[in-house]
Amino acid sequence: MSYALTEDQLRIQDLVRRVAKEKVAPRADEIDRTAQYPQDMFDLLRQLGLFTLPFPPEYGGVGNMLSACIAVEELGRVCYNTGYLLVVQWVPFGAILAGGTKEQKHRLLPGLASGELRGALSLTEPQSGSDVSGITTTATATSGGYRLNGSKIWCTNSHIADFILVAAKCVKEDGSPIGINLFIVKRDTKGLTIGRKEDKMGARGIPSCPLFFEQMFVPEAARLGPEGGGGFKVAMEALNTSRPIVAARAVGLAQGAIDHSIQFIQNRVAFKQKISDFQGIRWMIADMVMQTEAARQLVYRAAAMVDAGATGKELAPVAAMAKCLASDVAMKVATDAMQLFGAAGISAEYPINRYFRDAKVVQIVEGTNQIQRNIIADSVLGRTLRN
């Protein structure tokens, strides 16, 4: 595991930083304000080949999670929503790679890598978010496949995805339980209704919608992994490997908030001096930079572990630490940045409150930070009952 970034990774960083500044940053406020899906940004990322970064070469990818993190970080620095376009594509990729059949991988992964296909992952239900085992959507075994009934909420990208990975409890025809599985559901499947998009405080550019399943038939070939419980393991594995990129988005967000803060405090005058000359302000900026750099290093380490082939119990606590620390730092840094802006931070005229609103989302999505802390504590104390 090499410590320094490679020549290729530095090149990716340089390219994405430049594109982010020139093409993404000018769109960021508008995407947030209008809450419209940024198709132009999707096309730009596709044109640059950025979707390929974490995919193994056999599926048309570059096969490097650290490079993926660097790209997400640079985009998240100027526009959370554009960084999210990459992350939302890479989460279902992880699940399919971990649990798909050879046929499913060859059918879906090259399309996800090139951006020809778009995916989404749907676990959360009205009564169960963190507790995935509490889902009540059922997949009743029937001739040649399953009939899904139930509903989901907060499925991000579902309005535009070609397919959605849906978690459901498999049951026999007599209702007896088999276990949780993921199913590959095409968006136009009969019996699937996609509801109205959430009006969100942050992550506004990439819609999240409820899903409703009414006697929706899926063939057996749509099931990911062996029937009964395998799907749950697959989903958890996928969330572990995608955590570094979720975390990288938070590092980028924190860095972006620092960038804006530096510019502001060097131009704002109070008591006849630049506010950046007050020691209290200088120490705030020093803490913001220090915490962000610490989070960055942990995220890069988690990504490097994925690249070195770490999985399961080895990867889980480090990936959880990266996600938890980076998003807590993003929230803290964005909050301090708002303070540095004074009343200007409250005004929509400045972009800083967008960072503040988006930061809160990262503490909640992809496993809340309490759940990440549970994973970390489990790794050192052993698993315990939580109810």
Closest approach of Cβ 131 to ligand FAD, in Å? 6
Closest approach of Cβ 326 to ligand FAD, in Å? 16
Is 366 one of the catalytic residues? yes
Closest approach of Cβ 360 to ligand FAD, in Å? 9
Assigned token pair, 368: 């809340």
Largest CA distance in the chain: 79
Query: What angle (nearest 5°) sits at the alpha carbon of residue 66, between those of residues 60 and 72?
Result: 85
Closest approach of Cβ 215 to ligand FAD, in Å? 22
Assigned token pair, 216: 């929706």
Cβ-proximal residues to 356 (8 Å cutoff; 6+ apart), any chain: 257, 334, 335, 337, 338, 345
Q: Which residues of 347-364 are buried (b: 16+ CB within 10 A; e: fewer)?
A: eeebbbbbbbbbbbbbbb
Q: Which is nearer to ligand FAD, 263 or 370 (CB)?
A: 370
Distance CA 72, CA 68 (A): 6
Q: Which is nearer to ligand FAD, 137 or 276 (CB)?
A: 137
Q: Which is nearer to ligand FAD, 65 or 155 (CB)?
A: 155
Q: Which of 66, 45, 36 is nearest to 159 (CA)?
A: 36
Assigned token pair, 36: 């419209």
For residue 180, what is the DSSP state? E
Q: Which is nearer to ligand FAD, 41 or 246 (CB)?
A: 246
Query: What angle (nearest 5°) sits at the alpha carbon of residue 23, between those of residues 200 and 16?
Result: 95
DSSP 39-67: HHHHHHHHHTTGGGTTS-GGGT----HHH
Closest approach of Cβ 363 to ligand FAD, in Å? 9
Task: Give residue number: closest CB to ligand FAD.
Answer: 129
Q: Which is nearer to ligand FAD, 124 or 255 (CB)?
A: 124
Closest approach of Cβ 130 to ligand FAD, in Å? 3
Residues that bind ligand FAD (CB under 6 A): 120-124, 129-130, 154-156, 200, 203, 208, 361, 364-365, 368, 370-371, 374, 386
Question: Choosing from 73, 74, 125, 366, which is the catalytic residue?
Answer: 366
Distance CA 18, CA 82 (A): 14
Q: Which is nearer to ligand FAD, 170 or 324 (CB)?
A: 324
- Enzyme catalytic residues: 366
